[in-house]
Amino acid sequence: MASTMHPLKQSQKSPSKEVTNSLITQKQASSELNKEINDSKFQIRENQVQKEWLNQLNSKIHVSPKPNDNFFVDLKSKYEICKGTNLGKLMSDLIKAYEKFNSQSSSYDILNTEKEQLLQDYQKITNSLSQEANLRKKAMILQESLESKGKLINDLENKLKVLRHEYQDIKNTLDNNDIKNYIESRDKIVCETYKCIEEQTFLMTEIDKIDLDIKLEKNVNKITPETTNRLLKSRKKDMENSIAEIMRVIRDKEKIVTKLKMDAKKNAAIFKAKNNETDLAKSCRSCTNLQSPNNASRKSLKFSPNNTMKTHENLVSAESQSPDRDKAVKLFTKGFNHENSEKIIKTLNRFGTENQSFATKLVKLNRDGFKLS
């Protein structure tokens, strides 16, 4: 029973394993993003330190004007002329201011470049943070789904335990000796009932045949050709009705057999998928199967042509399929006329004695199964 329930349990836990694996991958991706975020933060701190260092360095840097700057060259030449005067002092201050302006311009360009780099790093960090938020949401959703799946698995395990307990109780109940005796007694009673019904049907048919023979033998001298023809037509009608009834029974049985075959195929596919049939199914099937009283192995009766219980209806349907009977029915149903009368007389002369009437011979021919050869 444990081997039978193992695939069911494995199939129930397989979805939770997939969810767990996906959650693990999401956690790994989240950890990698956290690492990248920490690296970006460290880079920002490093950039800030570099910025402070550059500010200190720029304050000390003296950037000379470009050699091709005409304004600066002209200013230097005028300073050399006015050197030692008040105008020279002003020119010196102007040169220092111009040099400071050039230094601050270069520092400003460096800071703009650093600013662009920092903005790009900040954009990357914000994108990483947004991705981290989305991943956290997905991780929370997966965690909730995992919890619900875990609850469902626990509920199914509890139901499985209850079913195992019920199965064990049913098995213990079926193994009780009193129940086995009741089942065997019921099977015997069912078999005896079928036998009695069979014998009763057969006896009623024989009684009807005997009554018909008695009536025909009493009136054998009074029967005329017209009466014989009328009796043949009546017998033909009865035979047609009987054949129609038998064919209807055969069709119903064929439908039952077809349905049973389809059910058997479905059950075989189910049993093949499960690999082994449970002991509970075997016990229930053994309780419901009809067993033969004369079979020592107590095998159940199957719905097959060889193992079907022979009843009077089955005997009649088997006789109705005889080719000799079909030939005789076709001959007698045409009636007495100038073409068939001679054939009918030759056929009936082969049965009984010469003193017997056609009706008596026809009854005897029907009892023999219309075997003309």
Cβ-in-10-Å burial (0-12, 13-18, 19+) of 231 comes to: middle
- CA R_g for the chain: 55
Least confident stretch, 39-43, 118-122, 220-224, 271-275? 220-224
Residue 1 pLDDT grade (very low, low, confident, very high; cuts 50, 70, 90): very low
Region 103-111: what's the mean pLDDT?
81
**Structural tokens at position 223:** 């029967």
Q: Is the pLDDT of residue 139 over 90?
A: no
Least confident stretch, 4-13, 33-42, 145-154, 246-255? 4-13
pLDDT for res 127: 82
The one-letter amino acid at 124: K
Q: What is the pLDDT of residues 344-361, one digit of tens each?
A: 777 777 666 666 666 677
Residue 53 pLDDT grade (very low, low, confident, very high; cuts 50, 70, 90): low
**Structural tokens at position 21:** 């694996």
Contact 116, 97 (CB under 8 A): no
**φ and ψ at residue 291, rounded to 5 degrees:** -105, 150
Q: Name the residue ranges covered by the structural domains of the chain.
A: 2-174, 177-367
Token look-up 């033998």 returns 217
Question: What is the rounded average pLDDT for all residues in the chain?
Answer: 70
Higher pLDDT, 160 or 23: 160
Higher pLDDT, 336 or 251: 251
pLDDT for res 161: 92
Residue 40's closest CA among 141, 98, 145, 117? 117
pTM for the full model?
A: 0.22
DSSP single-letter state for residue 222: G
Q: What percent of the chain has pLDDT over 90?
A: 3
Contact 164, 48 (CB under 8 A): no
Q: Is the pLDDT of residue 147 over 80?
A: yes
Q: Is the pLDDT of residue 314 over 50?
A: no
Q: What percent of the chain has pLDDT over 70?
A: 59
Least confident stretch, 2-6, 84-88, 93-97? 2-6
Region 27-39: what's the mean pLDDT?
82
Q: What is the pLDDT of residues 224-273, one digit of tens each?
A: 677 677 777 877 787 888 888 888 888 888 888 888 888 888 877 777 77
Q: Is the pLDDT of residue 10 over 50?
A: no
Residue 98's closest CA among 123, 62, 124, 122? 62
CB count within 10 Å of CB 359 equals 22
Contact 153, 13 (CB under 8 A): yes
Cβ-in-10-Å burial (0-12, 13-18, 19+) of 361 comes to: middle
Cβ-in-10-Å burial (0-12, 13-18, 19+) of 68 comes to: exposed
Q: What is the pLDDT of residues 160-213, one digit of tens each?
A: 999 999 988 887 777 666 667 777 778 888 888 888 888 888 888 888 877 776
Token look-up 């035979």 returns 239
Higher pLDDT, 135 or 13: 135
DSSP single-letter state for residue 277: -
Contact 68, 131 (CB under 8 A): no
